[in-house]
Amino acid sequence: WYHVKDALLEGGTPFYKLHGTSPYAYYGTDSRSNKLFNNAMADMSTLVMKKIIDSYKGFEGVNTLVDMGGNRGASLSMIISKYPHIKGINFDLPHVVTDRSDFPGITHVGGDMFVSVPQGDAIFIKSVFHNWDDEHCL
């Protein structure tokens, strides 16, 4: 809650006002914060993915699936456990995929989705749009 008032009155984000950088740039320099954030994202994904996998059938015809912003690959591993024919590519920032979990059928690729994206039959995007302004989301 530090700097919330400043951010509301002056613009910007409390995190930037406190650390002088964006959260993801900061996580790239602080391994403890990076690990804590990655754990939180993986735990949240597990809850959401159970429902998606139970109800969504769109993965049946996919051979190669790219999970954009896939963190450690937990969501992709849940998809592949139900659809083992899928070759998974977990794509996230380099400092994120270095703290990855190794799952069968998943290749981890570090990079910047605004520069280039690995090739696949389909792209899975979940819990990433909150990071950017409208221009980058479109």
Q: What is the pLDDT of residue 138?
A: 67
3-136 is classed CATH 3.40.190.80:
no
Tokens 């280039």 belong to residue: 116
Alpha carbon distance 92, 68 (integer Å): 6
Give pLDDT, residue 23: 84
Ordered per-residue pLDDT tens for the chain, 138 residues:
788 888 888 888 888 888 999 888 898 899 899 888 878 877 777 888 999 999 999 999 999 999 999 988 989 999 999 999 999 999 998 988 887 778 889 999 999 998 999 999 999 998 776 666 677 766
Question: What order do you get walking across the sheet with 122-125 strand by strand?
Answer: 106-110, 87-92, 64-68, 122-125
19, 95, 108, 130: the catalytic one is 130
**130 part of the active site:** yes
